[in-house]
Structure 1
């Protein structure tokens, strides 16, 4: 199992990860480091633990917002699929009605043609 060393808030941490996940873990650690640096810039020296907790809360808030947006998009996609299916069913019914009307018209024309042919 690969191990990498990441730096967060000036401290180094050795971490294990799955094969091929090294870059991803480094990117995540850099994101956490950036959040802590952002908070430190806003609030100054308020304690490492408090900064870490605040960064975790910020990350969790972003995750919740992303999940909410995903659920909204999934609901919208489901509604679109339902609407599309209803539209297709309606189109099918309209085509059936048009075909039925066309058949009735053709039958009427045939009856009229037969009457005209018999009258001559």
Structure 2
């Protein structure tokens, strides 16, 4: 584990993270700090604890919205897969009919050719 110091709302916090995750943790801390600062500009000095709670709620709301969108997208993907399978099935049926038709046509052509050969003799 690696130790990282991050600054959030004017306070320094020492945190542990997996090696190689330091930059990611610092980016997350910076996002939290920026959200708190945005709230501070919008609502004024209402106390760090309230600002931190409000930031947490807005992040939770963002997460809930992301989960909702993921669910919508997963449903669309499932619908598209079902449509694709239906189209694949229809295409396969069409290909089978076409193959049968070509086979029947080839048989007729062979009969006509045979009849022509027989009548030419």
TM-score when normalising by structure 2: 0.89
Q: Secondary structure at the match of 2:7?
A: strand
Shift of 1:15: 1.2
Q: Which runs of 5+ in 1 are unaligned?
A: none
Find the aligned partners of 2:16 and 2:110 in 1 and give their Cα distance: 84
Whether 2:90 is the aligned partner of 1:112: answer: no
Shift of 1:87: 1.1
Shift of 1:109: 2.3
Q: Which runs of 5+ in 2 are unaligned?
A: none
Find the aligned partners of 2:102 and 2:26 in 1 and give their Cα distance: 69
Find the aligned partners of 2:29 and 2:90 in 1 and give their Cα distance: 53
Residues 28-47 of structure 1 aligned to structure 2 (within 5 Å): 28-47=28-47
* Matched residues, number: 120
TM-score when normalising by structure 1: 0.89
Of residues 28-37 and 60-69 in structure 1, the stretch that sits farther from structure 2 once superposed is 60-69
Find the aligned partners of 1:14 and 1:114 in 2 and give their Cα distance: 92
Find the aligned partners of 2:91 and 2:58 in 1 and give their Cα distance: 49
Residues 1-120 of structure 1 aligned to structure 2 (within 5 Å): 1-120=1-120
